[in-house]
Structures are given as structure tokens and as C-alpha cells.
Structure 1
């Protein structure tokens, strides 16, 4: 155990967050996301029993978002015609706003298959048990400035 580190972040996840460099991306996936398939060239970290919001909040306490891109946070866009509501996105935007001055303005949407393509090139994918649909989120790492 360490002081000041959210206990939900496992040693493996902390190691990965530390290893990531500027512009590397990490996906926090919902329970329906094909994490193992998408993560064939990435590190896949299982966080079963947890949802995306608590993982996102813990990560953003330590993880700077990329200030050099307009949308360092991206959500998987709902497929047109799919009658799905996404209230979890508002939760994500509130969490992001706690840690980045751009707030919801730095959150974008990526078409479903384009999201999959980008996920295949992510440094890591965190597989959660999140039950909300379209609850996948991708973060692009910035630089630590002290």
C-alpha cells in the first residue's frame, strides 16, 4: 500500500500508467468490449468487479491529459439508430472536469469502428465489469509538468 494512491489502482495498472509516454493512449472498457481481441498488441489489465467511473476517477488523479490535442478523451459513438441512452457520458465529463481545466470541451466522440481501430493501437486496455452500454472511454496521456 502507498499513501496518496487510490487503492483501486493495482500495482500492474500503476506500472503501466508510469510506463506510458506522451501521446500514448489507454482504453477503459465496459464489460461488453472485446478487450482481449482489441488488446492483442496491448497490455490488457482486468479490473473485474469495478465500473468505468471509479477507474477513470482514480486514473485521472495521476494521469495528465494531453494538452496538445483538442480531444484527449474520446467516447465510442452510438451507432445511428441504436436506441441507447448514454447518461454515463455525463458522469465521465464531470470526472474529467475535476482534473482538466478544459472540462467537457476535451471530450470527443469516435465512430464505433474507428474507436476499435484506435483501441487496437492503444498502449493498454483496462477491462471492467461496467454494465452501461457505450461506456468505453479512451484517454491520451499528456506530460507531467511540475
Structure 2
């Protein structure tokens, strides 16, 4: 146990976030996402398991420690719903509420088509697997700097 660190932060999650630098990306994946497959090609190299966490719970845990990047078009991206790119599902609205509360001034959120999300996820620093059951409950968070 460490003072000031939420006890639900796993050693792997802490290790990954500590190793990330400005501009590195962390995927928060739902239960349907092929997390282990994509995690194998990331710099961290293995999936970070957060069983029992929804996407929004994982994002809340992560953004309490990880600063978001205001110097890009979007500090956080959501996976778009197939054939409905403008539609925000409940999982998106819930997660973006948490993200918007955590992001610095000037930062923004965005979206990415599902197949493009898969490509980008394979190039991320790491992948966090949740047990989020709502479809399209996948996000990419971009690490910023501490001001």
C-alpha cells in the first residue's frame, strides 16, 4: 500500500503509467475488445487486467493519476458505433463526463472509427482490459504533462 494511491491501482497499471511519456497512449478496452492480442504489440507488451471495472470506473481510476494531453486535437478518443459515428452511447457519455472533468484547459475529446481504433490500439503504449459489457466501450487516453 502507498499513501495517496487508490488501492485498486494494480502494480501493472502503475508500472505502465509510470513508464509512459508525454504523447504516449493508453487504451481502455471493453470486454469484447481483443485486449490480449492488441496488448502483445504494444510497448508494455501485456494486457493490464482490471476485472470488475466498467470503462468509466477504469478511466476515473486512471485519470486521477495520469494527466491528459491538451496539445493535440483530442486527449481522449472513443470508439465510434458502427454506421453511427455521431451517436454517443451511454458508455461514451458516462466516460466523457469523467474525462472532461479531468482534462486541462484547452483539451478536447474525439472519436475514431472501429477499424481505425484497432490499428491505433496496436500502436499504443498499453492496453487496459475492463469487464465493460456495453458495446463500443473502448477509449484511448493520451498522456500529457504535469503543469
TM-score between both structures, scaled by the size of structure 1: 0.90
Secondary structure class of the residue paired with 2:48: strand
Counterpart in the other structure of 1:90: 93
Provide, for residues 10-62 of structure 1, a one-character-per-residue CA deviation record: whole Å limited to 9, x for no partner: 11111110000111100010000001111221231111222111110011011
Find the partner of 1:69 among 53, 69, 72: 72
> Which deviates the most, 128-137 or 90-99?
90-99
- Residue 140 of structure 2 aligns to a residue whose secondary structure is strand
Aligned partners of 2:88 and 2:32: how far apart in 1? Answer: 16
Paired residue for 1:49, among 42, 47, 52?
A: 52
TM normalised by structure 2 equals 0.89
Q: Indicate the residue corresponding to 2:142 in structure 1.
A: 140
Change (3 A) 1:102 1:92: farther
8 Å CA contact 1:48, 1:129 repeated in 2: yes
In angstroms, what is the RMSD of aligned CA positions?
Answer: 1.9
SS in structure 2 opposite 1:37?
helix
Tell me the distance in 2 between the aligned counterparts of 1:86 and 1:46: 23
CA contact (8 A) 1:9 1:55 kept: no
Matched residues, number? 143
Shift of residue 115, structure 1, vs aligned partner: 0.4
- Distance across 1 between alignment mates of 2:77 and 2:84: 20
Conservation of the 8 A alpha-carbon contact between 2:73 and 2:108: yes
Structure 2: tracts of 5 or more residues without a match = none
Q: Which moved more, 1:72-81 or 1:106-115?
A: 72-81
Distance 1:15 1:81 in 2: 36
Within 1, Cα distance between the matches of 2:11 and 2:145?
21
Runs of 4+ in 1 over 4 A off after TM superposition: none
Cα distance in structure 1, aligned partners of 2:103 and 2:48 = 25
Between the aligned partners of 2:39 and 2:96, the Cα distance in structure 1 is 25
- Structure 1 stretches lacking a partner, 5+ long: none
Please state how far the C-alpha of 1:101 moved relative to its aligned partner. Answer: 4.0
